[in-house]
Amino acid sequence: MWRASNNALPVNTNLAHRHIQVDTTCAECQSYPETIIHVLWSCMFASQVWHNDQSFSALHAPMGGSFKDLIWCAMDAENKIDIELFAMIAWAIWKRRNIFRINQAADTPDRVFTQARDLLQEYSQALPPQVSKHHQPTDPCIWKPPPPGSFKANFDGAIFTNQLSAGIGVIIRNTNGDPIATLSKKIPLATSVEIVEARAAREALLLAYQLQLSNVIFEGDSSIIIAALSTSDECVTNYGTIIEECKAVAHSCSWRNFQHIRRQGNSAAHLLARKAKDLSEANVWLACMPPELIPVLSFDNVSVSS
């Protein structure tokens, strides 16, 4: 994935760029220059592989964009894309392309898809339980209100590739599921999704701090960020400074509760993060809330009572 997103795979157009004499046309379809985005995504063969899963076929690569742009879109898709499966399929298409080039009998699109899926499943099962996060059944996917006397702050980030910006969404609710504060904020595009998610966590903590709330549960859908916030070990990543700032605020307020929730349960924060796309500055609503949030909140509250 790293090589694909950094235009470092030896596709025909890249070889020609390095003055190696090759036919730049895609060997599979014989119709287009073989770029990374073409061979892994838009070539008719790749396209047939991706169509085995609806969540991928609903994904649209930005016009003229690179494979890296496609990854950003996948990470920011409305319906959360399984990024591990995405990476595994891209790898399987590349592997199959190399076999096809040396004229060996190459697999059909369906077979490439099934092999990638099975391989990922095998890999997930081989991991120790605490490391395996693929399809973890214990991850809640329905939002639940906090216990009486406490608050819950959900946070999320969204990437707007075309705008070179990102959005942050935070919503704090009480034990009845009523929102007491919401926030939408636009920030410049960061170099990783984790940085955006870490910044969303920091905004959630700062908002709760400003409101002087005592018992707060912080909930986000990035398991990496929740794990980083939950451990006492120093975070030495490119988002480590933000995590350490979060921990300092949490420590000063004796907040210890960081929970992971799947994207479906974090819809309200996600909507607020996406709403930032149309904003020029941060919007914080206290007591009232943006009207488009009402159906999401009703859904969360219905899920709770059913």
Q: How far is the CB of 95 from Zn ion (least distance, A)?
A: 16
Taking the least distance from each CB to Zn ion, the nearer of 45 and 160 is 45
Do the Cβ atoms of 72 and 159 come closer than 8 Å?
yes
In the complex, minimum distance from the CB of residue 16 to Zn ion, in angstroms, rounded to a whole number: 16
Q: Around 10, how many Cα atoms within 13 Å sit in the side-chain half-sphere? A: 9
- What is the nearest approach in angstroms of Zn ion to the Cβ of residue 31? 6
Pair 151, 212: CB distance under 8 Å: no
Residues 178-217 that bind Zn ion (CB under 5 A): none
Q: Which is nearer to Zn ion, 43 or 228 (CB)?
A: 43
Kindly identify the residues of this chain, within the stretch 13-42, that bind Zn ion according to CB under 5 A.
26, 28-29
| CB nearer Zn ion, residue 97 or residue 186 | 97
- Taking the C-alpha atoms of residue 155 and residue 161, their distance in angstroms, rounded to an integer, is 20
DSSP conformational letter for 225: H
Does 93 contact Zn ion by CB under 5 A? no
Tokens 């892994």 correspond to: 40
Residues within window 146-185 making contact with Zn ion, judged by CB under 5 A: none
Closest CB 26 distance from Zn ion, rounded Å: 3
Percent of the chain as helix, strand, coil, to the nearest 5? 50, 15, 40
Q: Quote the CA–CA distance of 242 and 190 in Å, as a whole number.
A: 13
Toward Zn ion, which CB reaches closer, 23 or 244? 23
Q: How many residues bind Zn ion (CB under 5 A)?
A: 4
Residue whose CB is less far from Zn ion, 28 or 300: 28
What is the secondary structure of 7-49 as a DSSP string? T-S--HHHHHHTT-----B-TTTSSSB--HHIIIIISHHHHHH
**From the CB of 22, what's the least distance to Zn ion, in Å?**
15
- Rounded to a whole number of angstroms, the minimum distance from the CB of residue 37 to Zn ion is 11
Establish if 43 lies at the interface with Zn ion (CB under 5 A): yes
How far apart (Å, rounded) are the C-alpha atoms in residues 196 and 189? 8
* 28 or 221: CB nearest Zn ion: 28
Q: Which spans of this chain sit near Zn ion (rule: CB under 5 A)?
A: 26, 28-29, 43
